[in-house]
Amino acid sequence: MATCNTWYGDLRIQFSDDGDWDFNFTNGQPDMTEGLDSAVLLSIFAEADWQNAIASSTSAEYHSEFPALIERASVTDETIINGVNAIKAALDWMITDEVAETIDVSGEAFSTMGIKWTIEINRGNITSKYTVNWDNGVACLQKDQSAEADWG
């Protein structure tokens, strides 16, 4: 019988020098973090098919609406509200799986071409904060580095 290793934490995804996303391994083990960075990134931005091939059932399949929402959107109140709802839906598995206690998402226009959505994930005494900046059709995820100061 084959044995499988189990690693706990969040798989560290790094932007590589060649402009692609990469995973690093040390002694055969993937580099991990204790945060939620990769989980948040993949939950919000990954295409619908990326993990459905490994889903144990149709109900476990994941579908994020956020990439399609912002693909051809413009800065409107409706886009801001729909973005809040899409981000909440993408991260809702964290509540279901008891990874987080609460997730708060808000949004605001910061220019005629840009929207900022702010995400706050509460895990007991740990709060992780992220910002999705969407400016002129380009979106990126940023982490508030000071937010997890209480991490043990």
Q: In percent, how much of the chain has pLDDT > 90?
A: 32
Query: Does the pLDDT of residue 10 top 70, yes or no?
Result: no
Q: Token pair for residue 61?
A: 């399949």
| pLDDT at residue 122 in the model | 94
Between residues 57 and 43, the one the model is more confident about: 43
Domain boundaries, the chain: 10-23+30-50+64-143
Helix axes of 77-91 and 37-45: crossing angle, nearest 10 degrees: 120
3-class secondary structure for 49-77?
Answer: CCCHHHCCCHHHCCCCCHHHHHHCCCCCH
- Please give the average per-residue pLDDT across 45-60, as a whole number: 58
End-to-end CA distance of the chain: 37
| 8 A C-beta contact, residue 32 and residue 10 | yes
| pLDDT at residue 146 in the model | 65
> In DSSP terms, which residues pair with 130 in a beta bridge?
119, 143
| 8 A C-beta contact, residue 97 and residue 107 | no
Angle value at C-alpha 14, between 24 and 103, nearest 5 degrees: 120
| pLDDT at residue 72 in the model | 83
pLDDT-based confidence at residue 152 (cuts at 50, 70, 90)? very low
